Structure 1
Amino acid sequence: MRVGRIVARMVLPAVAGLAVLLAGVPAAAPAWAHSRLLGTNPADGTTVTSPVAAVRLTFDELVRADLSTVVVEDANQRRYADGPVQVLDHEMSQPVHPLGSGDYRVAWRAISADGHPVQGEFRFSVALPPGQEPAPPVQPAPPVEAAPVGATTTTPAGPDRRWWWVGGAVALVAVAAGLIRVRHGRAARTR
């Protein structure tokens, strides 16, 4: 009976402490998340029938201007950027030279507010009415590597903090188990 009380005195606080520790994990989850692309303008897979002055990407959280890139190119890998990427809060935009009718690929890379890069690409087409075709760009830019074809990816820039929480919980359980074992051994010797 005495061992049961000792175990109850040790296990219940340990379990309660673990519950309190783990209760804070969901609240901290947004800090672990990286920016997600919510939408683009022009939208992925659409055909635009009016001139495009800029390509816009909207994210679910703030993105940083430094090291964020947007590459807009046609089927011949001619680039259409007209100046640097502009970032304002959750929106990243790339002004472009006038786009003629055709298919375009946009490869982007954004730096989340937490410093982690996210990247992806999307495609759209332009179908301007006759007489609205712009003059071709004066000099095409040389091709450089952009984001790989496929879905949006996230590349961690450092250790994932959630593993510290898991490690702390495991350490807490190990300490509680060790204390129970030590107390249980003492109780058995004092009988």
Structure 2
Amino acid sequence: MSDENTDDRAVSEMRHRMANIFQLMSALGRMRSQRSGDVEARRQLLWLADAIGSLGALERHRTSEGVDFTAYLVEMAPVWRRRHSARQAEVRVSAIPVFAPDTAASTLALIAQELVGNALAHGYPGDRPGLVEISLTQTSDGRHDLTVSDDGQGFDPARARERFGLWFVRSLAAQVRGEFTLTSQPSCTAKLVFSL
């Protein structure tokens, strides 16, 4: 057996263990949220557990070429849907193959997590059915475009700056030299154009 094969196996094993650790931390966060008597504390613990779980899923898509971000989005679409099972919205992914460097992949995963979560949590009151679409394309100038759109009720743009999730996305977008825009007419479209 060559040293290269041994190294590849060791790296693969390490990634597997890291993914398991992330999933364990996510499960612990969910368990703690169930024991909390405070509604806001429960909500915050669930948000943190979801973010940790998303990063754990990302670990499974690391390759020698970078992180297969397209495969990550495809894997996460039904997970995001299940996390918001009270909503009747479908989640679809349309994406070109994109391998992101390790330095950008976690940031992009957290952005996608927040945007899809916002669309599902706020776009469809009650049991209103709908569709959340995630697209990942390349722009004519070689950058990438991650768009999350929904056919939901939209939002009040005047209140958008007050929300932690959108502040968080804007902060993360700067880390990937991204330009983030959000429109509501009346449904919502969130777009991040970024460079890898």
| TM-score scaled by length of structure 2 | 0.28
User: Which structure carries more helix by proportion?
Assistant: 2
Structure number with greater Rg is 1
